């Protein structure tokens, strides 16, 4: 059993993989957040674009997402709060100079036609 990259303590095969493969859809924003973090670890820019709310996609470049995902070594995800449409988290990583970094974000999600999507984030 391979532990999921999102640090949930569950197996990847039963945690984020079904969301990324499209065989299941996240029921809660936290599940989508975890699968998006996993997509950064696995460098899956298409999934990150697809799970961004349609009106916000114009602000993101697949190439830039992929470059950022590849430039960093992802260490762990820590969820601080998850309620309603908000997920606050810290993503720990090493940058391209191997300096420890923390991406601290309070993300907003939107439920559209039965699916959750990332809308935007407030960064700390």
What are the tens digits of pLDDT across the range 27-44? Answer: 999 999 999 999 999 999
Main-chain dihedrals φ then ψ at residue 14, nearest 5 degrees: -110, 0
Give the chain's mean pLDDT.
97
Among 107, 101, 109, 99, which residue's Cα sits nearest to residue 123? 107
Beta bridge partners of 123: 105
Q: Supply the pLDDT for residue 111.
A: 98
Distance, CA of 9 to CA of 35 (rounded, Å): 13
Distance, CA of 67 to CA of 114 (rounded, Å): 31
What are the tens digits of pLDDT across the range 78-91? Answer: 999 999 999 999 99
pTM for this predicted structure: 0.96
């Amino acid at each position: 059993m391979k532990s999921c990259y999102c640090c949930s303590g569950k197996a990847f095969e039963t945690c984020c993989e079904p969301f990324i493969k499209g065989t299941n859809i996240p029921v809660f924003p936290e599940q989508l957040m975890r699968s998006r973090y996993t997509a950064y670890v696995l460098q899956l820019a298409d999934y990150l674009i697809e799970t961004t709310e349609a009106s916000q996609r114009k602000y993101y470049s697949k190439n830039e997402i992929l470059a950022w995902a590849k430039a960093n070594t992802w260490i762990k995800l820590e969820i601080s709060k998850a309620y309603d449409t908000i997920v606050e988290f810290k993503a720990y990583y090493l940058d391209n100079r191997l300096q420890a970094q923390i991406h601290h974000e309070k993300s907003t999600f939107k439920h559209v036609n039965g699916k959750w999507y990332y809308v935007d984030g407030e960064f700390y």
